[in-house]
Amino acid sequence: MKRALVIVLDSVGCGGAPDAADFGDAGADTLGHLFERELLELPNLAKLGLLEVLDRGPTSTLPGAAWAKMSEKSVGKDTSTGHWELAGCVLPQPFDTFTSFPQDLLDEIGGPFLGNFAASGTEILEQLGEEHLLTGYPIVYTSADSVLQIAAHEERYGLEKLWALCKRAREVLDRRGIRIGRVIARPFLGDSATTFKRTSNRHDYSLMPPETVLNRLQTAGLETLGVGKISDIFAGSGISESHPTKSNADGMATIGKLWADPRKRPHLIFANLVDFDMLYGHRRDPAGYANCLREFDAWLGDFLPQVGGDFLLITADHGNDPYHSGTDHTREQVPLLTLNAPRPLVASDDFTQVARLVAAHFGLDA
């Protein structure tokens, strides 16, 4: 039985992409700055070649380890663009972005809404959360990414009601041909601006992707298991089973359980660990980001002996340098760390190298 595990460390970039300045991200370097300023050491990722990727080697690596850097070819630096390219789909044109949404669009989705401007998730709750509780109107906002986000109180507005509203928003956007990458439900709890806190019950409603390696694997009779928000990112396309998670710790535990499951069919486990990005990158919290990486590295140390002869691949989808200005993603290269890769890695390739490696591992045409 062949199997493979791809883990996406959401936003763990490794230095500015060649075109970083075009995205306003000159000088961004998520891992580089964390190593320099947070005295970061990640000994188990180093066993797969991370220090070589960061030009901090040489170091002792495991037999079968191989590493490289990748630069995104698609036009964008968001979650959907990055993951779709990892799965083999390059987007030559960016998704649609807005600073605010047309009123007729919001009316069709089902307003009235509060907000309708670009803001961070914490700022928008501080500004409008109490008004939401008074009026019952959900909060709509966006960011530099191609997203339409709707926030509402999980208990007073209702979680199922919020999810239904976001699903309708996705349907309206698709009907109108508006290429927004994701509609995101942002439930929160609390009674005032000082106590509002987003919960783990977010849900992403993505634009339907073109064919990816996930679809090819299914057609060939393989199982594809999504962990975390993978199924949301691909709108369920090419995903045989979805295992949503509430945190990195939950995601790592889920990976461990799935890896220990003696399945009879060849399969790919495709996991996203989002805490790096959601909790620490956007909030520009370098100490929290560094500790999150240390927690993953400790888990990896226990997991590596279980890999055996199977294929392990660890990468990222973009950067989110907690030392960079603003609160948005950063256009960066990403590390490609592998164990038992089916063929030699290509240095400075685009993200589709991941799809080609997965296809080759299972004997499929890339």
CATH of 103-206, one of 3.40.1280.10, 3.50.50.100, 3.30.70.1250, 3.60.110.10: 3.30.70.1250
The confidence score (pLDDT) of residue 89 equals 96
pLDDT value of residue 145: 86
Mean pLDDT of the chain: 96
- At 269, the pLDDT band (50, 70, 90 cuts) reads very high
Q: For residue range 271-281, what is the model confidence (pLDDT) as tens digits?
A: 999 999 999 99
In this prediction, what percent of the chain has a pLDDT beyond 90?
93
Residue type, 337: L
Strand partners, 336: 68
Mean pLDDT of 227-240: 96
- pLDDT average, residue stretch 42-62: 96
Q: What is the pLDDT of residues 90-139, one digit of tens each?
A: 999 999 999 999 999 999 999 899 999 999 888 999 999 999 999 999 99
pLDDT interval class at 365 (50, 70, 90):
confident
Q: Specify the long-range contacts of residues 132-141, CB closer than 8 Å, at least 24 apart.
A: 132/157, 133/191, 137/111, 137/112, 137/113, 138/113, 138/114, 138/162, 138/165, 139/113, 139/114, 139/115, 140/101, 140/106, 140/113, 140/114, 140/115, 140/116, 141/115, 141/116, 141/117
Question: Of 141-145, 205-209, 320-324, which gets the smallest average pLDDT?
Answer: 141-145
| Degrees, nearest 5: CA angle 8-49-247 | 25
Is the model's pLDDT at 38 over the cut of 80?
yes
160 pLDDT above the threshold of 90: yes
- The arithmetic mean of pLDDT across residues 189-217, rounded, is 94
- Amino acid (1-letter code) at residue 175: R
* SS3 (DSSP) at 94: coil
For the domain made up of 3-94+208-361, give the CATH fold.
Alkaline Phosphatase, subunit A (3.40.720)
Tens digit of each residue's pLDDT (9 = 90 or more) over 174-198: 999 999 999 999 999 999 999 999 9
Dihedral, CA of residue 21, residue 22, residue 23 and residue 26, to nearest 10: 0
* Confidence at residue 144, expressed as pLDDT on a 0 to 100 scale: 84
Domain boundaries, the chain: 3-94+208-361, 103-206
Contact 5, 255 (CB under 8 A): yes
Place 348 in a pLDDT band, splitting at 50, 70 and 90.
confident
Written in H, E and C, the secondary structure of 349-366 is ECCCHHHHHHHHHCCCCC
pLDDT, tens digit (0-9, with 9 covering 90-100), for 59-99: 999 999 999 999 999 999 999 999 999 999 999 999 999 99
